[in-house]
Amino acid sequence: MTLNINTRILLNPWKGPYGGVPPFDRVAVSALVPALEKAMQEQLAELQVIANNPQPPTFANTFEAFENSGHALERVLTIYHVYSSTMNDTAMQAVELEVEPKLAAFHDDIIQNSALFARIATIYNKREQLNLSVEQQRLCWLHYHDFARAGAQLKEDDKQSLAIINQRLATLFTEFSQNVLKDENEVQLVLDSEQQLDGLPLGECEAAAAEAQTRKLPGKWVIANTRSSVEPFLTFSTQRQLREKVWRNFTLRGDQGATDNKMLASEILKLRAQRAKLLGYTTHAHWQLEDSMSKNPDNALQLLRAMWKPAVQRVREEVADMQKLADKDGIKIEPWDYRFYAEQVRKARYDLDANELKPYLQLEKLREGMFYVADKLFGLRFVAVDKNQVPVYHIDVRVWEVQDANGHHVGLWYFDPYARRGKQSGAWMSEYRRQEKFVGNITAIVSNNANFVKGKADEIVLVNFDDAVTLFHEFGHALHGLLSNVQYPSLSGTSVVRDFVEFPSQLLEHWLLTPEVLNRFALHYQTNEPMPQSLIEKIKNARNFNQGFATLEYLSSALIDMELHLAGAIDIDVEAFERDTLQQLGMPAEVVMRHRIPHFTHVFAGDGYSAGYYSYLWADTLVADAWEAFVSSGNVFDPDITARLRECIFTAGNQQEPDLAYRAFRGRDADVQALMRKRGFV
């Protein structure tokens, strides 16, 4: 294969400072396909050398050789995933559709290499007789189980069937994701009079005007079909008919017309069930949860169902309170009314108006607050990097070097905070390079990504309280990646089971509301005065307000996810399944799932959170218990607790079972009642 310069750029080791950085300034989307194909060929050849090694298998010539393969592919995949999630234009979507089935086939080629797996199994079966470290034994376990669970022991005919399923799933995942992105990019509500803005805070009006300018609609206002635009509109707009339109636009993503995802979801479910059966599991849910903290679907369902009745009861109480106000307007509460009237009740009950909070929640000050927490907890410093020194893929992206308390380099943190066309909605953390010490002292490169509406040039960006919490959440993931201190990349950073990976991130959310952070960084954007103590007390008093709604919209999505994947290889009409299951659960009519099936990208844009959306609640059980340790100490930066948190959780990666890691941190298992206390359900 003759490689042009653009392809070689993607394949070559990264150059520049900090151990090399991604060459975002020299990326050509057209080079991604040949670069990925070449990199896959290279790793397959590297693995075949391991498989054909005439020497008896050892940990070094098998497991360590495996860890030392595929570096070129890792580099290309980093660029590919950044562009597919943040710069996903028509050209990039074509690349995805071509590449995803090839990546699935590549993965199957590795798993189905019988000679390679035989060497892995040989070392795994005698690992306890070898002089291996704890981390090396964990690596043996990880690779053996990854191969075995993915079909390495299947008969040849079954391996071929599995490969066909995996490649088809890869295509379906891509189509599902692209349909949702298209509805978020192209569906919008255009407002053409100031009257239609009634009730919206000034900042939301300005954001809608800026969105209209971006879409070449001067003199108008646009409510984009993304959560960051929709939820404030539903909270503040007095225009009920417009609230309904915005709500329907958002809840019907992927549900109609050319972007209808229902048949795709149904096929995905059936293929997953077939794959699970091939692999020897009762259902896809049993396969997914085998290596999780929950171990099996029954344990996950037990937690979800334990929360359901208290959440439903709380929602009924919330609706009753709201209906008293809605009666004065002559309406019955509908889903598009919930946030609006909840805000009215909060004002009346707690004298707390969300508009009071937002002037104190400046995006840049919150970022500084996150840096402060990282310093107080872990001794980390963030030093801004000149864009001329480290290239970025978009002008909005900024980079910081992360240093320890002694000024030593720890890693790089990229920040991409603003929404734009072609960027997936929501907020997330990505790892561009995982920390390791196997082939040198390799430091981590991570990013945090969000979808705030960018204002005019030099305009201060204000965020709502929920978005501020999300910022701290995703930063927790980033710290988990940055602080990793392990030998092997496969065990590094956030490479832990799904229902444990959310623990560090959800725990970090709690520092946002501490006096140490609010007094320093919750500063009014005009006066620079700190948030008044009276307002902070209102926030604390109202911390469990609307908890029924927040819990139930999440729980309904998590339960639907689990029930879908426990249904087996039957033909599922996803629309009927969603409707009937919610009816059986007793879902209040005033609440809709946070993620309905046709746009549930956590579950249908990949296998990651499939039968695993419950994991946020599982992790929150750990979080609630862990935070009580800090609170009971009287010091939210208690040095002893913080040291254990760093050593047992943030630096440890996947060196041991997560329940053992948590026990090492806390000194015992988590108290499950802490979750009920946290959510005010006791």
Cα-based distances in Å from 411 to 335, 476, 480, 487 = 44, 15, 12, 16
> Which one of the listed residues 474, 502, 578, 590 is annotated catalytic?
474
Q: Confirm whether 58 is domain-assigned.
A: yes
Q: Confirm whether 167 is domain-assigned.
A: no
Strand pairing report for 409-418 and 444-452: parallel
Q: Confirm whether 104 is domain-assigned.
A: yes
Total residue length of the chain: 682
Specify the 3-state DSSP secondary structure of 471. helix
Q: Is residue 344 over pLDDT 90? A: yes
> What are the backbone angles phi and psi of residue 423, rounded to the nearest 5°?
-105, 130
**Cβ(450)–Cβ(469) below 8 Å:** no
Summarised one tens digit per residue, pLDDT across range 631-672 is 999 999 999 999 999 999 999 999 999 999 999 999 999 998
The answer to whether residues 127 and 199 belong to one domain is: no
Percent of the chain's residues with pLDDT above 90: 94
| Residue 680, pLDDT score | 86
Contacts for 202-206: CB closer than 8 Å, 24+ residues apart: 203/358, 203/462, 204/232, 204/233, 204/236, 206/455, 206/456, 206/459
Cα-based distances in Å from 374 to 107, 379, 382, 402, 447 = 37, 7, 9, 10, 15
Q: Is residue 457 over pLDDT 80? A: no
Q: Confirm whether 414 is domain-assigned.
A: yes
| Residue 454, pLDDT score | 86
| Residue 681, pLDDT score | 84
Active site residue 474: yes
Summarised one tens digit per residue, pLDDT across range 527-575 is 999 999 999 999 989 988 999 999 999 999 999 999 999 998 899 999 9
Q: Is residue 459 over pLDDT 90? A: no
- Going across the sheet that includes 409-418, the strands are 381-385, 398-403, 409-418, 444-452, 428-433
The answer to whether residues 63 and 126 belong to one domain is: yes
**Cβ(654)–Cβ(138) below 8 Å:** yes
The CATH number of residue 123's host domain is: 1.10.1370.40
The answer to whether residues 108 and 16 belong to one domain is: yes
Q: CA 435 to CA 411: how far, in whole Å?
A: 9
| Residue 203, pLDDT score | 86
The answer to whether residues 389 and 453 belong to one domain is: yes
The pLDDT confidence band at residue 235, using thresholds 50, 70 and 90, is very high
Q: CA 65 to CA 488: how far, in whole Å?
A: 11
Q: Is residue 446 over pLDDT 90? A: yes
Summarised one tens digit per residue, pLDDT across range 188-232 is 999 999 999 999 998 899 989 989 998 999 999 999 999 989 999
How much is the mean pLDDT over the chain?
96
The answer to whether residues 101 and 248 belong to one domain is: no
Tell which of 520, 541, 562 closes a domain. 541
DSSP state of 669: -
Q: Is residue 1 over pLDDT 70? A: no
- pTM for the model: 0.95
Tell which of 132, 153, 174 closes a domain. 153
Q: Confirm whether 449 is domain-assigned.
A: yes
Q: Is residue 25 over pLDDT 80? A: yes
Over residues 15-42, the mean pLDDT reads 97
The answer to whether residues 147 and 191 belong to one domain is: no
**Cβ(536)–Cβ(329) below 8 Å:** no
Closest CA to 432 of 447, 442, 418, 421: 447
The answer to whether residues 517 and 368 belong to one domain is: yes
The answer to whether residues 136 and 201 belong to one domain is: no
Tell which of 541, 566, 595 closes a domain. 541
Summarised one tens digit per residue, pLDDT across range 121-146 is 999 999 999 999 999 999 999 999 99
On the 0-12 / 13-18 / 19+ scale of CB atoms within 10 A, 187 is middle
The answer to whether residues 395 and 504 belong to one domain is: yes
The answer to whether residues 509 and 406 belong to one domain is: yes
The answer to whether residues 134 and 201 belong to one domain is: no
Q: Confirm whether 521 is domain-assigned.
A: yes
Q: How many domains is the chain built from?
A: 3
**Cβ(607)–Cβ(613) below 8 Å:** no
Residue-number span of the structural domain to which 202 is assigned: 187-253
Q: Confirm whether 663 is domain-assigned.
A: no
Q: Confirm whether 526 is domain-assigned.
A: yes
Task: Take residue 351 and report the two structure tokens written for it.
Answer: 């004298």
The answer to whether residues 27 and 133 belong to one domain is: yes
